[in-house]
Structure 1
Amino acid sequence: MFVRLLALSREEQAGQSWTVARWLRHWLSTRKRIRPTTKMHYTRDIENFLVPHIGHLILGDLTSRQLDAAFAQIAATRNRAGQPQTVCTLQHVQATLRAALSRAQRDRLITDNPARGMELPPRERAQPEVWTEARVAVWKATGERPVIAVWTAAQLASFLDYIRGDALFALWWLIALRGLRRGEAAGLRWVDIDLHEGQLSVVRQRTTAGYDVHEGPPKSAASRRQVALDKHTVQVLRQQRERQQQRRARRLGAGMVCHDSGYVFTSPDGLPLHPGYLTQRLRLLVDRAGLPPIRLHDLRHGAASLAHSAGADIKTIQHQLGHANIRVTADIYTTVLPPAAYKAAEVTASYLIEAGRPGAELKRQMDRTRDTDDDGTAMAPTEPRPEPGPLGAGARRPPKRTARLRVSRCRTRREAKAQRVLTSRRPANHQERAGQPAPRGH
């Protein structure tokens, strides 16, 4: 054993002396520029899952087989709700372990990353589902609700009308129509809004790690964006500023403390709101309005669906929501609301039915060849019809001849019908045939 260690490099020797638990905690403590919420999630994965199951193993001897066995044990445990661990949780724990081992590989403590070869069950991403009448009926009967639920336009309008007198009406309006995140709305300041130009700038957010609030830049570079404001939203924000100024004047007049914090949405004392309060407040308002339940983040889903159904393209919606990848916007955040889906279904069915009608193909061909001059005339036959003459007894029947019309184009249905009649016409008897001399000697 001692001889084998001497053959290893200094980094590989460290890998043989470090346990997985020691390395994971060291890796987390040396992370730079990590967001508080991310650090909280990493800490939870390390202390609750990884250290109890693989913390005692030697870092340099860690294998994919050991990790597969450990994750099978983790999957058998129960979460706080008493349910088996979800695939999402397992994948998050794997991502934390993979990131930590990748750093160990870069530092040459290990030669490869065994977490990369693991296979976990695929995670099915929940898709937003619209609260149709059928789903509302099922929810009322059984309490069953979609993971991600979206209101229809009528339901959203009903909710906004119900809460019009709420102190945070402008916040619910902004999230529901412009798709701001909870932290972005909580961190919005008046200096970031230009009511004259009709736009607001998303430059910071207030997020939570546990109950602690952390304020900083947006989630990603794509989240820093300019959001266009329509005239109705501008009016809503003007009213919010007036109410805020009036409330501050009343409190100061009564000798009460009221801070001028500069935030758009504040508590009565003027300080910014805790983001968790917004979640609880919305749940209470939805229950009072008697509408099917949705989460605060579902309002953001609904804003994307509403804009898509109103005719906005996916690229515009991507910028509005602040997504770095347009696939996220198209695959997850956009749901076709019923009116748009019905319209598309009607157009498709009408196209198919029209294509199957009798004479539809002939009509299309006639439309393509129809002349711009619609005077209703047709060309005459190129050969005059011979005058009928008498036939004697035993007269030899002349060869069949038909009147042929050479018409350049049929301008109307009446001309097409006349063409068919002339083309199919045949002599009624021998006297109507073309005159030829009867053979003699019969």
Structure 2
Amino acid sequence: MASFSKYDTTNGERWLLKITITDPVTHEKKRTTRRGFKKLSEAKAAAKIIEMEESKIKYNLKAHVIFKHIFEEFEQEYSKHLKPSTIYRKSIDIRKWILPEFGEKRLKDISKNDCQRYIDFMSTQLKSYKPIVIQAKNIFDYAVRNNYIESSPFTNTVYPKNTLYESEDAVENFWTKEQSLHFLKSLKENENLKIYAMFRTLLLTGLRKGELLALQESDINDKTQNLTINKTLYYKPDNTYQILKPKTKASIRKLHLDDETYSVLKDLIRQNKKLRLQYNVQTENKFIFIKETSFDPFRNSYMNEVLNKLCKRYELPKITVHGLRHSCASLLFAAGVDVKVVQKLLGHAHIETTMNVYTHVTTEQVEKTTDLLTDYLKEKSSGGQTVVKLEKKQ
């Protein structure tokens, strides 16, 4: 509601208006005064513009919603379709990297420039920053779909061409045949049964971390030496674990164990049985890879921690547990196994995933083949010069 009054100045009479504006989000009322109008009609016209702007703001009220409230809606929506482990991982990233930047801002106040600056900043913080940026984009896309904003401020933003990480040496994501053999030999000679069984199984079967930790004694068929993979293990934030379905339908599979891997797994099972008898413990799930103190399965992080120490101990390139899965694939390809068979063994839902590994591995093989061809064509003369000999036509 606006009110008008006349006042005197050295330049003559002037009009002022007083109008109350309500914040569309907080609903707080704020009294605004405008001065200097020569005519009452000018003051009324100004009041009408202010009221129209306020009406427009109220009409576009959704754009005043705080970003973190949109995230909460978004989280409820996507959590219906994802595994608890995926939800937990994504939520950690969002709360650590996205909410501190956008959380307290209104949607209407977040511009394209803000989003571009955010992308540029993230590129200096993380090597794999793009998945987190995509998560931020997804939240804004949700806001667009639900009519909070007309368009996403991430539209037409770009990823920087150069980052601080481009000059860093990439962590090796797979081992060669020689490195793999050295690793297995070192484990067998120096480590305990559990460590040897764990990492031999990972390297020679290509199991995912959660799949290995979910293995139970009943998953091994003694007649066929087949291993059944039909579940995965997830540790919740409260330190309790949950057995879930595997990543995809393709992840449900049977693998034939080589004699030694079968043998060490059976030895480990016998060792676990002795421990249960010794401590008089009955467990509902007889996991193969267990903590001796609680008989619960290990956490995913345990394997990476141990593997980091093993890489240093045996002077091997640093690799992740997932890198052992990649190494398994590379060894299968090097042994001449068909791509479709490797896809089935590793439980890849899409052949493109398998082909990405295949391309990586064969690139190195192609480079070696080119060197062999060059060496074949070259021959050193007695004078030490390198020449190419070609047979003359008869």
Normalised by the length of structure 2, the TM-score is: 0.69
2:238 maps to 1:190 = no
Letter in 1 for 2:154: A
Following superposition, the deviation at residue 180 of structure 1 comes to 0.9
Which of 101, 108, 111 is 2:140 aligned to? 101
2:329 maps to 1:331 = no
Q: Which runs of 5+ in 2 are unaligned?
A: 1-49, 380-387
Following superposition, the deviation at residue 159 of structure 1 comes to 2.0
The equivalent residue for 2:177 is 153
CA distance in 2, matches of 1:338, 1:64: 42
2:248 maps to 1:220 = yes
Deviations 1:245-291 (A, max 9, x none): 34423551x45435362223223354322222222222333433344
The answer to whether the 8 A contact 2:234-2:243 is kept is yes
2:394 maps to 1:357 = no
2:344 maps to 1:319 = yes
Following superposition, the deviation at residue 5 of structure 1 comes to 6.8
Following superposition, the deviation at residue 186 of structure 1 comes to 0.8
Deviations 1:177-221 (A, max 9, x none): 121111111112233333434433322212456684453222234
Aligned partner of residue 206 in structure 1, secondary structure: strand
The equivalent residue for 2:62 is 15
The answer to whether the 8 A contact 1:200-1:229 is kept is yes
Judged with a 3 Å threshold, the aligned counterparts in structure 2 of structure 1 residues 189 and 340 are, in CA distance, closer, same or farther, namely farther
Deviations 1:72-106 (A, max 9, x none): 4x449xxxxxxx413522x2332112211222222
CA distance in 1, matches of 2:377, 2:236: 54
2:61 maps to 1:36 = no
2:48 maps to 1:24 = no
The answer to whether the 8 A contact 1:170-1:237 is kept is no
Pairwise mapping of residues 48-127 of structure 1 onto structure 2 (< 5 A)?
48-60=96-108, 62-72=110-120, 74-75=121-122, 84-86=124-126, 88-89=128-129, 91-121=130-160
Following superposition, the deviation at residue 64 of structure 1 comes to 2.0
Which of 257, 277, 293 is 2:302 aligned to? 277
Aligned partner of residue 200 in structure 1, secondary structure: strand
The answer to whether the 8 A contact 1:189-1:264 is kept is yes
2:254 maps to 1:237 = no
Judged with a 3 Å threshold, the aligned counterparts in structure 2 of structure 1 residues 7 and 294 are, in CA distance, closer, same or farther, namely closer
Following superposition, the deviation at residue 114 of structure 1 comes to 2.6
Deviations 1:303-357 (A, max 9, x none): 111111111122222222223333333334642497886457536765899x973
Larger Rg: 1 or 2?
1
CA distance in 2, matches of 1:122, 1:188: 43
Deviations 1:100-126 (A, max 9, x none): 1222222222222232422112599x9
Following superposition, the deviation at residue 176 of structure 1 comes to 0.7
The equivalent residue for 2:45 is none
Letter in 1 for 2:319: I
The equivalent residue for 1:175 is 202
The equivalent residue for 1:376 is none
Letter in 1 for 2:232: Q
Judged with a 3 Å threshold, the aligned counterparts in structure 2 of structure 1 residues 179 and 246 are, in CA distance, closer, same or farther, namely closer
The equivalent residue for 2:38 is none
Normalised by the length of structure 1, the TM-score is: 0.62
Letter in 2 for 1:357: L
Letter in 2 for 1:218: P
2:229 maps to 1:202 = yes
CA distance in 1, matches of 2:170, 2:114: 37
Which of 278, 281, 299 is 1:257 aligned to? 281
RMSD: 3.7
Following superposition, the deviation at residue 36 of structure 1 comes to 3.4
CA distance in 1, matches of 2:161, 2:243: 34
Judged with a 3 Å threshold, the aligned counterparts in structure 2 of structure 1 residues 2 and 203 are, in CA distance, closer, same or farther, namely farther
Q: Which has the higher strand share?
A: 2
Judged with a 3 Å threshold, the aligned counterparts in structure 2 of structure 1 residues 294 and 30 are, in CA distance, closer, same or farther, namely closer
Aligned partner of residue 114 in structure 1, secondary structure: coil
The answer to whether the 8 A contact 2:211-2:233 is kept is yes
Deviations 1:215-243 (A, max 9, x none): 32222343x232432543xx422442244
